[in-house]
Structure 1
Amino acid sequence: MDRRSYFVPPGGHPPQTDLLTGRAVFTEAYAVIPKGVMRDIVTSALPFWDKTRVWVIARPLSGFAETFSQYIVEVAPRGGSDKPEPDGEAEGVLFVVGGTVTLTLDGTAHRMSSGGYAFLPPGSNWTLRNDDKVPATFHWIRKAYQAVPDIAVPEAFVTNEADIAPVPMPDTDGRWATTRFVDPLDVRHDMHVNIVTFEPGAVIPFLETHVMEHGLYVLEGKAVYRLNRDWVEVEAGDFMWLRAFCPQACYAGGPGRFRYLLYKDANRHTNLRPFK
């Protein structure tokens, strides 16, 4: 039985009768962008993308995300791009949550449906099209690749979450597991984009406090997340940004699984000259 599920933003616009009360939070340590904010009015267009709209949920900004940007991209039928990435030094990850797209990478076409995952190193030659009759939606995470002398740039690859076995965290009886798309010890990679799954009742039983910056998009379920000093209830479709050293923990109370797409920077020395 395929139990995978991915939230897709519906867009639209709230009626005038709705209350203004919402769950959006922006602090010095974290931000929560709830699913109700993903409306038509906050979408953007991108150069060289046809029949496409984008929710920008993270971008490099003083006091906010410093290492990455993250888009939710909706491509209408017959839409897409033949010149998708304008930055030759940017690496990217695509993760499909709805519909089907055709990613053509170095001349080879890859049909990607829900759960499809692609890593695109800097300088990749790729295009993306929606040849289906319904819209397609995917996450696009972009980062300026930090090259290291004498270490090769990792190669591109395309896979699907369904083809990768989750790795259980120690002493959790499999209730907390991570689907890893690259080897965490492969220092060619300077970011990890994984899927974390909690079964009902699972917890992160301590306040993680670390140098990695995080972006977490909730794909399925709900939970209570500890962010700095606050417990925040989150559900499918919500996005959390956590700056470096923001204390964090989680309690997944159920009734179903709680899953999120996780970004973090990794495997590089700290930048000693951040303002140059």
Structure 2
Amino acid sequence: MTNSYYAPEGGLPPQTQLLTDRAVFTDAYAVIPKGTFSDIVTSFLPFWDKTRLWVLSRPLSGFAETFSQYIMEVQPGGGSNRPELDPGAEGVLFVVEGAFTLEVEGQSYDMAPGGYAYIPPSSNWSLQNTSDAVTRFHWIRKSYEAVDGLPLPDVIVTNEADVPPTPMPDTNGVWATTRFVDPEDLRHDMHVTVVTFQPGGVIPFAETHVMEHGLYVLEGKAVYRLNQDWVEVEAGDYMWLRAFCPQACYAGGPGPFRYLLYKDVNRHMKLSGAQSAGALSSHRKAAE
């Protein structure tokens, strides 16, 4: 199967373009359509050469708080030897256009469209575009939630083409998920997957659950339910959902509808106002 991935190219709309657009930010979800990714909303990062990025999401108090997601655009000869400045941050890279060389802990990998890399926290890594073309890729970052007794996850580098999709039960194969991480590996506190719907495929109920979501449409189009609203989305659009926002979709065709999905998993819910284990231990000792 040959996959096609949408990647923004920037630019600026003409002065004649109407301002009416599909962009929306609510208290439960946001839709950032592909037309929003213009030159004037790009950002830059320290120690990244010949690189700009679009910030799709960032932690916001009272909204989605666990992750950030960028679309990185690296020119030929660009990249970074100090890409991540937060030692507690884990990351996932997913390539949508072009190629680059990734080095993690002394091991070098050639990354191409469909390439996936999981980078554990405190890793020594670098990235260089040694090709003669622009490369664009998603970079999803999360503060890793360590658990006593569980080691850090391993580095994972693969390509979507090498990972068979897992069909959802009772869907006749029209809904499938490409999983790069074993769902039962509790070392991982986030999953980044590719979800594929064949034309006419649906999420047949309003999913309502604790995971925060980032959904970037890689290919196709659909009508997606977000909270109480049905919105049309297409390749290049991004949806950002806070926890418990109901979601469902109808895949519109004529080709597959596919998106890159982030969600946080496998950890206890933090209890606000709860005493830490250290504080409780000190309290017990003082009481003895």
Q: Please classify the TM superposition score into its range, dividing by the shorter chain length.
A: over 0.9
What is the CA distance between 1:273 and its match in structure 2?
Answer: 2.2
CA distances 1:85-110 after superposition (whole Å, capped 9, x unpaired): 00000000000000001001111210
Structure 1: tracts of 5 or more residues without a match:
none
Partner Cα distance (1:157, 1:149) in 2:
22
Structure with larger Rg:
2
Alignment partner, residue 165 of structure 2: 166
Letter in 1 for 2:115: G
Deviation per CA, 1:66-94: give whole Å up to 9, x if none.
00000000000000000000000000000
AA paired with 1:206? Answer: F
Partner letter of residue 35 of structure 1? K
Identity level (%):
71
Matched AA of 2:243: A
Provide the aligned length of Structure 1 versus Structure 2: 275
- Rounded to whole Å, the distance in 2 between the matches of 1:24 and 1:206 is 25
2:64–2:243 Cα contact (<8 Å) kept = no
Amino acid at match of 1:102: T
Corresponding position of 1:61: 60
Structure 2 residue 7 is matched with structure 1 residue 46 = no
- Provide the C-alpha distance between the structure 2 equivalents of 1:105 and 1:135, rounded to a whole number of angstroms: 21
Q: Take 2:53 and 2:212, find their aligned partners in 1: how far apart are those partners?
A: 22
1:41 deviates by 0.2
Matched ranges for 1:140-155 at <5 A: 140-155=139-154
- Cα distance between partner residues in 1 of 2:40 and 2:24: 19
Q: Deviations over 1:209-235 (max 9, x none)?
A: 000110000000000000000000000
Aligned to 2:134: 135
Q: Helix, strand or coil: the match of 2:46?
A: coil
Amino acid at match of 2:31: V
Name the counterpart of 1:125.
Answer: 124
Q: TM-score, normalised by structure 1?
A: 0.98
Alignment TM-score, normalising by the size of structure 2: 0.94
Structure 1 vs Structure 2 CA RMSD:
1.2
SS of equivalent to 2:40: helix
Counterpart-to-counterpart distance in 1, 2:272 and 2:260: 30
Distance (Å, rounded) in 2 between the aligned partners of 1:132 and 1:76? 9
Amino acid at match of 1:262: L
Cα offset for 1:274? 7.7
Q: Does 1:271 align with 2:279?
A: no
Inter-partner Cα distance in structure 2 for 1:275 and 1:111? 46
**Which amino acid in the other structure matches residue 272 of structure 2?**
R
